[in-house]
Structure 1
Amino acid sequence: MIVETPAADQLDRADPGEPRILVVGAGIAGTTLAQLLRRAGRHPVLIERHDADAHADRGYMLALMSMVDPALDELGAGADYRRRSQRFDRYRIHSHRGRVLRTDPIAGLLDRYGDYRGIDRGALLDCLAGATVTCEVAHGTTVSAVERGDDAAPLRVCLAGARPAELEVDLIVAADGIGSTTRGLLHDGEPVDSVDTGWGGWVVWARPDADPGLGSELWGDGFLVGAYPVLGALGAFLGGPRAIRDAGPAAYAERVRRALRVVPERIDRVLTALVDDPDPFWWPLVDARAGSWVRGRSVLLGDAAAGFLPTAGIGAGMAIESAWVLARHLTHAHAHAPGAADLDGRLAAYERAQRPRVTAAHDTSRRLATLMCRTSLPLAVARDVVMRFVSIDLALRPIQQLLAHPPDLPAPR
């Protein structure tokens, strides 16, 4: 359960011998980390720039692989997550003209590791926050300044927003998204590596069809339509070059229908949902990769460290896994002097352990984007030919390697 709690009040709950940790951003990564630390007996401060009612927004759909299971089970949220999500076991790809190219079983590829499930972002946040420990959050709160002393001194943090405050903390975790303002403060404005596909798309929700176990995509000449099952609905992404936003949803839907010789029922359903939605969520297909995660007594997490393109369906899963790995390292750390050096070592160990895994998944999403975000009829035709003979197994192989070799974690004390 989410409980609105001022940051200073949260900090007062910290025991004298534990590290004082500020988690910036109550999204997927930040909430996962804060709740895991609370389960381990710690008392982090969790702040979020958005107001509390923004949490109720359904947001967008997520496909989660089994890398999230250990974190959710450790939180006591695993059963609730499985109740609120939809397992899907097949993936269908359509040609640029709408015909079915192939339907591949996902279950055979991933069952040995666990389920592949669809869930909307709001439901996932409810699972994370509604586990067995209370989720205290200070909404409408941002970091406006950070003052660093010497290596052993606490960080002085100025908070702006609904309840301005100054806090002394031992660690700042920046988990405030791909455009993280906290990252800019902590890393002195250091630029991030970014891929801009030039594309974007709308996220809309449609009524479920008769096949809730099927995820499907249609890659066209300058457009992409994907439909993915969540519990009781279809989450859809309808994308193309960014100029489609100016033309508007109705023009986009008409263009897609004209380009198809066969309009599959599901594609028709989500195109109709797009036109009927008065304010569909817009998602620019841009990613980000920070050059380093740890800077002094601060660390980047989730999209602030590596914001993913949605092409591989792996970004949220890696954010949850990273939060779990970081929590496991931090529960071994004692940040108050004389244990300050131990915290530095744990942060460095976390980055060494997790960054190669995140980078591998990030690279996979970038490679898939070069295949999917295309505006060329000859390339669309060639892609159709290739996809007739190449199964989803090839695209998922790097991800399967991550699932087959989970993170090497320190054992809990």
Structure 2
Amino acid sequence: MPLLPTTLADQAEATAGDPLRVLVVGAGMAGLTTAQLLRGAGLHPILLDRLADESHPGYMLALMPMVDPVLTELDAWAHYRERSIGLTHYRARTHTGRVLRTDSMAEVLHRFGDYRGIERGELVETLSHAGAPVSLATTVTDLREQAHAVEVTCRQGETSSTLTVDVVVVADGIGSRTRDLVPGGRETTGTDTGWGGWVVWAPEDDQGQLAEELWGTGFFLGIYPVLGRRGVFLGGPGAATAAGPEAFVAEARSRLRTIDPRVARGLQAVTDDPDPYYWALKDARAPRWTTRRTVLLGDAAAGFLPTAGIGAGMAMESAWVLATMLRSLLPTAEPGLATDGTTTGSTRAGRVAAGQLAAALARYEREQRPRVETAQDTSRSLARWMFSQSTVLAVLRDLAFRVLSVQSAIAPITRLLADPPDPGHLTAAASVARDG
């Protein structure tokens, strides 16, 4: 079962008896992961999304093995493998288009797990395979944090309603509107590369599991496999891309000395698409993630540049850590879940204490934020190398890539994979406080 459109009233009624009433704003990777993991613990989180239907905007995603705990706990491995493809190799090209080197991603990441490409919509289907109630076309318009609850006003069309919950998870993306409603505000800082580009689809080719990138002079071309087709990104400085896809493709072609069939198909896909999606390459970082009853998650906390291919993976990892810590606050005698997603067994009594919740959110931010910002810094560093109009820098990059492998470029990421988060030692403190 995919996302299940559900009225806000029905979701509110289902969560009323939970010991921890959770509102998740945003049904993207971070929000959906959090909601599904909490459902697995017998809770009934309210999930909202501003989209008006069940369509899944977005294109290709590359997922590092940091998502493995999520897929394991959601029993989603089979669904994930059916809908994704392994990214086994990475190819770098010179700024003029010639193949420079091809590295094995499997050799770099084999200690940690698979590196896979998947369409965003297919990942949503994977995460929601057991059924995910969601109220669509719904936004938060007011948020009032009180000592013992959060009063949240939501709007659906012309209708407004008020929810009373214990905690609000703000996961509505890099341009989050809910973030501004959090007590004290959350004005973000960020990196604006000044670049942007188009994301389109190209047909599947005979180089199945090979991702490749061409860091040109004043343009960037990336080709990334997903199951059955290839995602293509072509970008450059905002002033240059303003001329439109056709003119920019012509400019990129003029700067290449070598255009092999795969590169040619990628460029052609950009001009053939009647309505290519344009992505402005900027990121965002919130100065603080939590209050006593609210938490920013995923892109709402730290929105990534796509340069390291890790943003979605970090969002899902953060959701897993957060959900694990929230579940640790629950009474130990938990009811099971029936196959239709309803709670079986006795109803748990009592609410999670406000102090325990506030402490858990503070611990979550203290432990997870450095990991996320390290990954974000890596994406920013790569952007400085990748997005350049300097021919001198382009030549230096080519020379550097002759001796430096992809393993060197993503070394900070592999260090994060080698030292995964351990919510267990954090939840132990919550258990002591809860049982004491």
RMSD: 1.6
2:145 is aligned with 1:145 = no
Residue matched to 2:109: 110
The percentage of aligned residue pairs carrying the same residue is 52
- Alignment partners' CA distance in 1, 2:194 and 2:282: 8
The one-letter amino acid paired with 2:63 is L
Could you give the per-residue CA deviations for residues 265-301 of structure 1, whole angstroms, max 9, x where no partner exists?
Answer: 2111111111010111111110001111102310000
Q: Counterparts of 2:111 and 2:186 in 1: how far apart (Å)?
A: 41
The answer to which of 173-182 and 187-196 deviates more is 187-196
Moved more, 343-352 or 23-32: 343-352
Question: How far does the alpha carbon of each residue in 1:211-266 deviate from its partner, in whole angstroms, 9 at most, with x for none?
Answer: 11111000110000000110011111111001233211111111111111100221
Change (3 A) 1:136 1:261: same
Residue by residue, what CA displacement relative to the aligned partner does 1:64-111 show, whole Å, maximum 9, x if unpaired?
011001101211111111111010111110011100111111111101
Q: Is the 8 A contact 2:186 2:288 kept in 1?
A: no
- Give the equivalent residue in structure 1 for 2:419: 405
Q: Equivalent of 1:370, from 365, 368, 384?
A: 384
Letter in 2 for 1:44: P
Deviation at 1:385, TM superposition (A): 1.1
Ranges of 4+ aligned residues in structure 1 off by more than 4 Å: 334-338
Secondary structure at the residue paired with 1:247? coil
C-alpha displacement at 1:16, in angstroms?
2.7
Indicate which of 355, 373, 376 corresponds to 2:369. 355
**Which TM-score applies when normalising by structure 1?**
0.95
For the residue of structure 1 that corresponds to 2:103, the secondary structure is strand
Aligned residue pairs, count: 407
Q: Is 1:65–1:117's contact at 8 Å kept on the other side of the alignment? A: yes
3-state DSSP class of the match of 1:13?
Answer: helix
Further displaced range: 98-107 or 185-194: 185-194
Q: Which letter does structure 2 place at the counterpart of 1:349? A: R
SS at match of 1:139: coil
- The separation in 1 between residues aligned to 2:87 and 2:106, in whole angstroms, is 8
Q: What amino acid maps onto 1:155 in structure 2?
A: V
In structure 2, runs of 5+ residues without a counterpart are: 332-349, 432-436
SS at match of 1:283: strand
Match of 2:260 in 1: 264
Please give the secondary structure, in 2, of the residue aligned with 1:407: coil
Measure the CA separation in 2 of the matches of 1:337 and 1:320: 27
For the residues of structure 2 that align with 1:408 and 1:244, how far apart are their CA atoms?
A: 45
Give 1:313 shift: 0.2
User: Which runs of 5 or more residues in structure 1 are unaligned?
Assistant: none
User: What residue in structure 2 maps to residue 246 of structure 1?
Assistant: 242
CA 1:250–1:40 in 2, change beyond 3 Å: closer, same or farther? Answer: same
- What amino acid sits opposite 2:136 in the alignment? H
Question: Among residues 317, 327, 333, which one is paired with 2:329 in the alignment?
Answer: 333
| Of 271, 294, 302, the match for 1:275 | 271
Question: Residue 140 of structure 1 aligns to which amino acid in structure 2?
Answer: A
Correspondence 1:132-171 to 2 at 5 A: 132=130, 134-149=131-146, 151=147, 153-162=148-157, 163-171=159-167
**Offset, 1:338:** 6.5
Map residues 377-388 of structure 1 onto 2, 5 A cutoff.
377-388=391-402
CA contact (8 A) 2:20 2:351 kept: no
Give 1:164 shift.
2.5
Match of 2:19 in 1: 18
How far, CA to CA, are the matches of 1:109 and 1:156 in structure 2?
Answer: 48
Picking from 209, 212, 216, the partner of 1:213 is 209
SS in 2 for 1:284: strand
Matched, 1:391 2:411: no
2:60 aligned residue: 61
Q: Which range moved further: 21-30 or 238-247?
A: 238-247
In 2, distance between residues paired with 1:50 and 1:180? 13
TM-score between both structures, scaled by the size of structure 2: 0.91
CA distance in 2, matches of 1:187, 1:215: 43
CA contact (8 A) 1:97 1:259 kept: yes
Question: What's the counterpart of residue 346 of structure 2?
Answer: none
What is the CA–CA distance in structure 2 between the aligned matches of 1:15 and 1:51, rounded to whole Å? 25
Q: Distance in 1 between matches of 2:364 and 2:145?
A: 22
Residue pair 1:8, 1:167 contacting (<8 A) in 2 also: no
SS in 1 for 2:329: coil
| Matches of 1:92 and 1:4, distance apart in 2 | 42
Distance in 1 between the 2:23 and 2:139 partners?
Answer: 11
- Alignment deviations for residues 94-151 of structure 1 (CA, whole Å, 9 cap, x no partner): 0111001111111111011101100111111111111x3x2000000000011222x2
1:15: how far off? 5.4
Larger deviation, residues 13-22 vs 269-278: 13-22
Which residue type is aligned with residue 371 of structure 2?
A: R
